[in-house]
Amino acid sequence: MKKIKLTALSLMSLAMLFSLSGCIQYDKAHNPKGPVWDWLGLPMSHLIDWIHSTLHVNYGWAIIIITFIVRLVIMPINISTSKLTMYEAEKTQYLKPYVEPLQAKMKGNKDQAETMRIHQEIQAFYKANGVSQMAAMGKGCLPMLIQMPVWSALYAATSADANIKKDAFFGFSLGSPQIVFVIIIGALYLFQSFLTTLDIPDEQKSQSRMMMIMMPVMMVFISMAAPGGLALYWVAGGVMMVLQTVITHIIMKPRLKAQVAREFEGKEIIKPSEASASPAASATASPAGRKDVTNSVPSAPSEGRNAGKQRPRD
């Protein structure tokens, strides 16, 4: 669900990008004007010109330098979000054997009330064992929001600045769509998506396959209509994104998996029946004004008199 929301946000961001780029106006001499150019395109054009003249590089390398700066700014946010997401996913995977019997009941159950009760019991079990499935929600959208004005500014600059439009990067024009950049973008995004599917359960790979294909295909279609300068930004950004994925999924993920195993080995796991029997879980799972008796399980007896005579069954 989170990946679907992130993809939807990406589509909306790109749609906004092209909407803003269409708002660039031109005077009789065909010079760009208007608020989109004044606030986004012109500052980006000046920045590219400054890098070009200061470092004595062509406009393509100036765009790549800007890409690296932007990616370095958002990389800590991306890595932090990925780490938190993978940490919670590893905890969920570790606790999966306790949840599978309940999930099996849900699959064959046609009673909506009973299905809801089992779902609430699973959520209570995760919460009781410290799993937060909403931990990184919202934070993962921040890098996308940061890049939106950069995309719009680059589109405006590469579409309207005459010096950038007529320049080329290794023979590929920065002012018009370039099929070579499109192919590289598709390959980079596909490879990055493939890296994210490594070391995940087989049952989840089928669900991730659609998402693995969707983003590269979307980027290919968008890049086919984008100027070469903006496509070059996505090429350089794709390289940085692959390196970031190697850090998070190849280096960090095995360490997080071992960390989760150590954490759960050192503490007692609260069973689903025990979690749903807790007062906090019952208050959360039960509708207001109604007493939920379907999940009621006798609380564990104290270690005093009668200890061990009556214990709840797992």
Q: What's the pLDDT tens digit per position in 12-25? A: 555 555 555 555 66
Residue 30 token pair = 């065909």
Q: Could you tell me what percent of the chain has a pLDDT over 90?
A: 26
Closest to 52 measured CA to CA, from 36, 64, 40, 34: 64
**Res 119: pLDDT:** 82
**Res 211: pLDDT:** 73
- Say whether pLDDT at 91 is over 80: yes
**Res 188: pLDDT:** 95
**Res 16: pLDDT:** 52
pLDDT, one tens digit per residue, over 239-264 is: 999 999 999 989 999 999 999 888 88
CA distance 88 to 94: 10
CA distance 272 to 105: 14
**Res 138: pLDDT:** 53
pLDDT, one tens digit per residue, over 33-81 is: 777 777 888 899 999 999 999 999 999 999 999 999 999 988 888 888 8
- Say whether pLDDT at 215 is over 80: yes
Torsion of CA 305, 308, 313, 314, to 10 degrees: 110
- Say whether pLDDT at 179 is over 90: yes
Give residue limits of the domains in the chain: 2-24+33-91+137-265
Report the number of secondary-structure helices (H) and strands (E) in the chain: 14, 4
Q: What is the pLDDT averaged over residues 91-102? A: 86
Q: Give the global pTM.
A: 0.74
